[in-house]
Amino acid sequence: MAEASEVLMSVLSTIRVPRPGDRVHKDECAFSFSSPESEGGLYVCMNTFLGFGSQYVDRHYNRTGQRAYLHITRTRKAQKEDDNSSGSGDPPKKKPTRLAIGIEGGFDVEQDQYEEEVKVVLLPDRQEVTSEDLSSMPDVVKERVSQSMAGLMAADSVSHALQVQQWDGEVRQESRHAAQLKQLDNGVKIPPSGWKCEVCDLQENLWMNLSDGKVLCGRRYFDGSGGNNHALLYFQQTGYPLAVKLGTITPDGADVYSYDEDDMVLDSKLPEHLSHFGINMMTMEKTERTMTELEIAVNQRVGEWEVIQESGATLRPLSGPGLTGIKNLGNSCYLNSVMQVLFTVPDFQSKYVSNIENIFTEAPSDPTQDFKTQVGKLGYGLLSGEYSKPAPDPGDDPTVNSEPRGDQVGIAPRMFKALVGRGHPEFSTNRQQDAQEFLLHFINMVERNCRSGENPTEAFRFLVEERIVCQQSHKAKYTQRVDYIVQLPVPMDQATNIEEIQEADRRREEAESAGAPPPPAPRARIPFAACLAALSEPETLTDFWSSAVQAKTTASKTTRFASFPDHLVIQVKKFTFGLDWVPKKLDVSIDVPDTLDLSALRGMGQQPGEELLPEVAQPPPGAPEVKAPVLDDSTVSQLCEMGFPLEACRKAVYYTGNTGIDAAMNWVMGHMDDPDFSAPLVLPGCSSAPGTTPSEPVSEEHLATIISMGFSRDQATRALRATSNVLERAVDWIFSHLDDLESMEVSEGGRPAVESERSREAPPGPRVRDGPGKYELFAFISHMGASTMCGHYVCHIKKDQQWVIFNDQKVCASEKPPKDLGYLYFYRRVME
């Protein structure tokens, strides 16, 4: 120990004690998915607090010279069966009683299932120093090293801090109606049992209105289960806000729902309110599951195989390179599915996996914050096969091989998820997200980090040709824009079983009028050819300003491919809005083909003899100056509160002539897919939006902020002028117009080239690949649930002519891939 003591004394100044705010990575290696539970454990640098697996700690030492590392290893404790065990080897687990994590009664986070061993390791010889060894060393060494060890073990790891470890879904607020609730003196008395809905005779999921004692059934769930909405409909008729769930009343309380506040609430006067209808809380017993228990049951089922469409088959587990599962980090199945598919694409493999050693060698001092490092780490983890091993049964002795069950040890991409979600209002949370939105978000991040050199997103990038023909002058206008995803409309009126659907609608209306449960609705069967026809059919523009006739007129717009990408992504537009503006999902089956030929949808450009609309059309001499419109601010505000972009809301109000929220909302819903939906409002005859004239000064502070992100002054100025000098919008704008900005020539040092040099030739357009429009299906992502904000995602990928289903950690051979129920489809080009 004398030698180790001397080494520690020599490096004592580099050993730090974590302070508040320090980032401690003690759960995951910066370059791999090694953890304290992995073979070899995890080495945490006692200076930088970065974690490294056994195969990467020497790299960090050679690069930094740091010698002292805290070595953490965890081994699973052997589980003992108790008298209540089923005999299967699984210990009985305490059933959660609260929709919570990390608190008494909540979900068990299994923090006590491991035995932990901690010691200091000194590189390069990997000398080991235990706590007992420290006791015989000089006081100055013992004190400093012990404090660092204790501080590292006590500190929250970064991954722990990023998760809401102590989350309680049961925290409810006092209803604003509770204190002054008016109860009718109608003589109603509720018996202690034998309840049924007063409309449909349903005998479960019953709610008693606390204003008049009416007993009615609860809401109908998206899958048709639950009640028949009669309690909700009654509130809409009467405005009586509070209801208590019968069967949940006990001396400790009950489930109380406020329809007006649209949430579960507390009612401090509940004993008094129940007594009004003859109910004594102190004598009541629970006979129904509380809403919390129902939510817990749903949460516990989310990761089970039974929710997948192939639940009826016994699926064969797969493992090996390219067959690695990904752990669900809390509603992260959207991320898991997208990344599994992307790393099937050769461009992403070449960029981030083929040269993984170079990526790691060139990584900055903190690789946990480096985009290229973390993407490469994820790609290598998925493709190498190192983590594609069957997970042991938690109840079995870890030394005994358990029967494969489909789920794997897999990888937990916590660093990657934190990095790609950082600063984003949605992807930084643990809420469920739209897989299509995440795909575009990730493509945007790759674009930003590949401004020079190989860019794998070019595999998906294509040009769209839009041809607009003025119906009055018959002159045409051609524009091109970059896109990455084809959004495929779903023409419900083209369903092949339309008569069956209409009959089901008629029977549902009859059941609702009679107060009976509705019959199950049939799934609409839509031909893929009908979806393609809807995509390619001309669109009528009723408010098109024609530069040829100097007035608004009608025009037709057709959309075609100006280029065909190597890999084509198709999104089926299953998610829409109902008549009440509530998001809903279309239950459709589409016969998506294995092979696809889109050659007929290639744009041909200007036709022989076709006359183009004037490029620049100034108002005729003597015409009055076009002034900024006076918009109804209240309508604009209402639309913004719904989450729509400000400029889109302004355009909606302008183009509907300030006629109110309904007309503006209809305009928004009809133009959401327009490429300029969020662009500033440009008035006919004006060259730019109000407040964005070329001579208008921009904020120097905003300029400095954008320049600090690596953009030139000209690029930052252009972004601010395009977004009315609003910094947040300018940042969004600049990242969505990277191709345009890259065409602005920039000399060394970030200064723009002289104007005369720039004008010698037209700037190049965005880099796109082109080829035949023939494709074959190689992957698709499916969604289960009522909307993109809930439910579950899985993906199917074709590997060596075999379809494989990836359901988080479960990887199995697919028996019947549900290709007709997908949400995102991925095709690759077929070369003739």
Q: What ranges in 485-595 are assigned the alpha helix state H?
A: 498-514, 528-536
Of the residues 200, 333, 470, 649, only one is catalytic, namely 333
Contacts of 307 (CB under 8 A, 6+ apart): 301, 784, 792
Residue-level pLDDT at 741: 58
Q: Give the list of residues 6+ apart from residue 99 with CB closer than 8 angstroms, or none.
A: 106, 168, 169, 170, 292, 295, 296, 299
- Determine the 3-state secondary structure of 67 from DSSP: coil
Nearest CA-CA partner of 378 in 451, 326, 302: 326
C-alpha to C-alpha distance for 769 and 461, rounded to whole angstroms:
8
d(CA 609, CA 613): 13
Q: Helical H runs in 549-699? A: 633-641, 646-655, 661-671
Amino acid in position 432? Q
Residues 6+ apart with CB under 8 A from 399: none
* 614: Cα separation from own chain's centroid: 43
Annotated active-site residue 333? The verdict is yes
pLDDT confidence of residue 754: 33
Q: What letter would DSSP give residue 88? A: S
pLDDT for position 76: 78
Query: Running along the chain, 832 residues long, what does each successive block of 10 average in pLDDT?
Result: 87 92 91 93 96 96 96 79 42 48 46 79 94 92 94 80 45 88 94 89 90 91 67 94 92 89 90 94 76 51 39 78 92 94 97 95 93 96 92 53 61 93 80 89 91 89 93 92 93 93 89 78 93 94 85 91 97 76 78 96 92 68 54 81 80 80 80 75 50 54 70 78 72 65 38 32 62 97 78 92 93 91 96 77
Determine contact, residues 25/44, Cβ cutoff 8 Å.
yes
Residue 306 pLDDT: 41
> 694, 713, 697, 695: which is closest to 705 by C-alpha?
713
Q: How many angstroms separate the CA atoms of 557 and 67, rounded?
A: 67
Nearest of 526, 532, 530 to residue 588 by alpha carbon: 526
Both structure tokens of 593: 């083909």
Closest CA to 598 of 348, 347, 341, 825: 825
CA distances from 68 to 35, 57, 131 (A): 18, 11, 14
pLDDT at 88: 37
Read off the tokens for 466: 């839009």
Q: What is the rounded distance in angstroms from the CA atom of residue 651 to the CA atom of residue 643? A: 15
pLDDT at residue 696 in the model: 52
Beta-strand ranges (E) seen in 2-87 are 42-45, 51-53, 68-76
- Find the catalytic residue in 217, 792, 795, 812: 792
